[in-house]
Amino acid sequence: MPIRLSLLPLLAGSLLLGGCSVAPWDREPAVEPLTPGAFEARIDGLERRLAERCDTRRADLAQYRRDQLALTADVRELGHLLREARRDVAGLREDTPRAAAAGDCPTADARLDNKTLVGRSEWIGLPEVGTHLEARIDSGANTSSLSATEITPFERDGEDWVRFKLGLTDGDSVVERVRGEWIEAPVERRVRIVQATGEQSRPVIRLLMALGPLRESVEFTLSDRTHLDYPVLLGRRFLMDIAIIDVARRHVHDRPEFSAPPAADAGDAPETRDAETAAP
pTM recorded for the entire structure: 0.54
Q: What is the mean pLDDT of residues 238-248?
A: 89
- How far is residue 111's CA from residue 186's CA, in Å, rounded to a whole number? 36
Asked if residue 125 lies in contact with residue 132, where contact means CB atoms within 8 angstroms, the answer is yes
pLDDT digits (tens, 9 = 90+) for 93-136: 665 555 444 445 444 555 666 889 999 999 999 999 999 999 99
- How far is residue 69's CA from residue 137's CA, in Å, rounded to a whole number? 18
> Of 279, 203, 202, 213, which is closest to residue 243 (Cα–Cα)?
213
Average of per-residue pLDDT values in the chain: 79
Cα 103–chain centre separation: 51
Percent of the chain with pLDDT over 70: 72
Q: What is the mean pLDDT of residues 149-176?
A: 94
pLDDT digits (tens, 9 = 90+) for 248-279: 999 999 999 886 554 444 444 333 333 333 33
Q: What is the mean pLDDT of residues 148-155?
A: 95
pLDDT digits (tens, 9 = 90+) for 202-237: 999 999 999 999 999 999 999 999 999 999 999 988
- How far is residue 132's CA from residue 113's CA, in Å, rounded to a whole number? 28
- How far is residue 142's CA from residue 148's CA, in Å, rounded to a whole number? 18
- φ/ψ of 20, rounded to 5, equals -90, 110
- How far is residue 79's CA from residue 81's CA, in Å, rounded to a whole number? 5
- How far is residue 127's CA from residue 209's CA, in Å, rounded to a whole number? 7
pLDDT surpasses 60 at 161? yes
Q: What is the mean pLDDT of residues 62-86?
A: 77
Query: 3-state SS string over the chain?
Result: CHHHHHHHHHHHHHHHHHCCCCCHHHCCCCCCCCCHHHHHHHHHHHHHHHHHHHHHHHHHHHHHHHHHHHHHHHHHHHHHHHHHHHHHHHHHHHHHHHHHHHCCCCCCCHHHCCCEEEECEEEEEECCCCEEEEEEECCCCCCEEEEEEEEEEEEECCEEEEEEEECCCCCCCCCHHHCCCEEEEECCEEEEEEECCEEEEEEEEEEEEEECCEEEEEEEEEECCCCCCCCEEECHHHHCCCEEEECCCCCCCCCCCCCCCCCCCHHHHHHHHHHHHHCC
pLDDT digits (tens, 9 = 90+) for 171-181: 999 999 999 99
- How far is residue 115's CA from residue 62's CA, in Å, rounded to a whole number? 43
At a CB cut-off of 8 Å and minimum separation 6, what does 87 contact?
none
First-to-last CA distance in the chain? 126
Percent of the chain with pLDDT over 90: 41
- How far is residue 233's CA from residue 226's CA, in Å, rounded to a whole number? 12
